[in-house]
Amino acid sequence: MDKKINLILIGIDSLRADHMSLYGYHRLTTPHIDRFAEDGCVFMNTFSPHIPTTSGYAGMLTGLDAFGTNVVALRHKGDLAEGVVTLPEVLAENGYNTTCVGFKGNPASRGFQNYLEYAGWGSYEEGRSPKAENLNAVTIPELKRLVKEDKPFFLFLRHMDPHAPYLPPGPFERMFYGGDEYDPDNKSLEPVYAFKPFRDFFLTWFPPGCTDKDYIIAQYDGAVAYMDACIKNIFTTIESLGIEEDTLVVITADHGETLYDHDCYFDHHGLYDCTLRVPLIFKLPGKVPAGKRFNSYVQLKDIMPTILDLMGIDADIKFDGRDLVTLMRGEKLVEDPEFYITECTWMRKHGWRTPEWKLIHALEPDFHFKPEIELYNLIEDPEENHNLAEEEPEVVKFLEDRMQKHIKKREEETGRTNPMYTNLDWHGYGCGPFKSSQQAYETLYIGSPEAAKRIQALLDKKKE
């Protein structure tokens, strides 16, 4: 009888693929993951179609789309849809020890036997935030414990370093920045400070008096590089424990991040590709071919069926996702190049993405005062800066029709109404859909005014 394969699934919160050197970013942000990926398979066009965290991980850990899980909102109420089985539940049934690090209390994390927590946030007052070292301090002893047990294991890690606040320890703070973040002539952060819903939150972790957006972006990149260095410690531990040949390691993200993009400052909302496109890497010596890169369009819902195939487990589940082992074997995979996209983070929107076009349709007014319909040509305008909705009404209608046909089909298949239409308190304020952008702007708020005041006091002291 073959020895059962262990699983380590690294889910990195808010990691956009295009800020990883693995995916061609000009800064060397992920050298250790880059090297690790040389011995495995990298999927170059992986998408998290249902933003943000709750719905992203729901797809990753069930192999289902949003219709299947019935989860679309960050502040989801209740459990997953009836009858849905999670990856940890499947593996537990197959004799696995299961541990989850840093993801307790979320519907998608249901079914783990052990839940471990670590400090994964921070503020300017608290100083630089060693999130990944905090994770390692919990994870590495647990990994050693699991290896000593006479059972295979599933270890799920939720890294938080690329998630705001971006506060990487030195020397990563200045690894990608050599300017003056307090330059009074730099006005690039003025619109960020003027955005009332997030302003007070930013003031709790931006250096007091910071003026340069590029410094904040460099903090994100520094946080990614710092995390990459700490993940190397996990890779080294796997090697030292002698379990490399028996352990499937998967690295991905629940969604990307908006930095200074589309006025969605330093967060992860908006259905733009900076938020939708994530990394995906598989490594298992002998079963996953080394050095392969695939350009096929894949999604988070493809991860669970692929994992179970690689581990030799038949769960008898009808997945919405596809088994990517087909590609790894050199066989042709039925392509899935166009797909439904949703968001219930700080805005409620859905849309349709093809290799050429992106349609975004707001289901209620948003707090950025954006138009109801956005249309982008992803080939001519990959950064999605020029809205063509008014210039190309025929394309809008075509994509809207494609989207509505898909919604109707999935509603019939699941016997449920599209969850985008039923999650009307997605923001948690109990007021139902917003009637205007101004109402959304005045209602939605993150951050602590008291913390902001304390930071302001530090700033005033600095000026004296």
Q: What type of residue is 302? A: D
Tell me whether residue 324 is in a domain.
yes
In this structure, the answer to whether residues 26 and 171 fall within a common structural domain is yes
Q: Is the pLDDT reported for residue 52 higher than 60?
A: yes
CA–CA separation, 212 and 187 (whole Å):
7
- Whether residue 361 sits in one domain with residue 264: no
* 64 and 98 in a common domain: yes
Q: Which residues contact 279 (CB under 8 A, 6 or more apart)?
A: 12, 15, 17, 20, 22, 23, 33, 42, 46, 251, 252, 253
Indicate whether 456 belongs to any domain.
Answer: no
The answer to whether position 310 is within a domain reads: yes
Q: How far is Cα 166 from Cα 49, in angstroms, rounded to an integer?
A: 24
Structure confidence by residue, pLDDT tens digits, 306-349: 999 999 999 889 999 999 999 999 999 988 899 999 999 999 99
Burial of 202 (0-12, 13-18, 19+ CB in 10 A): buried
The whole-number pLDDT of residue 457 equals 61
Last residue of a domain, one of 333, 356, 386: 333
Instruction: Give yes or no: residues 82 and 124 share one domain.
Output: yes
- Specify the pLDDT at position 445: 87
Q: What is the CATH number of the domain that holds 119?
A: 3.40.720.10
The verdict on 250 and 367 lying in the same domain is no
Q: How many domains does the chain have?
A: 2
Domain boundary among 294, 318, 333: 333
Distance, in Å, from the CA atom of 337 to the CA atom of 344, rounded to the nearest integer, reads 23
Q: Are 243 and 260 within one domain?
A: yes
Q: Are residues 305 and 383 in the same domain?
A: no
Strands 50-51 vs 6-12: parallel, antiparallel or unpaired: unpaired
pLDDT tens by residue, 170-223:
999 999 999 999 999 999 999 999 999 999 999 999 999 999 999 999 999 999
Q: Could you report the per-residue pLDDT of 397-445, keeping only the tens digit for each? A: 999 999 999 999 999 999 999 999 999 999 989 888 999 999 999 999 8
Residues 349 and 294 in one domain: no
Task: Convert the pLDDT of each residue in 60-101 to its tens digit.
Answer: 999 999 999 999 999 998 899 999 999 999 999 999 999 999
Element (H, E) at 231: helix 213-240
In this predicted structure, the answer to whether residue 455 has a pLDDT above a threshold of 70 is no
Dihedral sign computed on CA atoms, order 212, 275, 107, 94: negative
Rounded Cα–Cα distance for residues 353 and 358 (Å): 5
Check whether residue 312 and residue 432 sit in a common domain. Answer: no
- Structural domain range at position 387: 340-449
CATH code of the domain covering residue 368 = 3.30.1120
- Look-up: residue for tokens 């531990």? 237
Q: What number is the average pLDDT over the span 41-66? A: 97
Same domain, 121 and 185: yes
Looking at 315, 333, 351, which one is the last position of a domain? Answer: 333
463, part of any domain: no
Taken in order 329, 331, 337, 340, is the CA torsion positive or negative? negative
Percentage, residues of the chain above pLDDT 70 = 96
Residue closest to 311 by CA, chosen among 286, 279, 346: 286
Statement: residue 464 has pLDDT above 60: no
Q: Is residue 1 part of a domain?
A: no
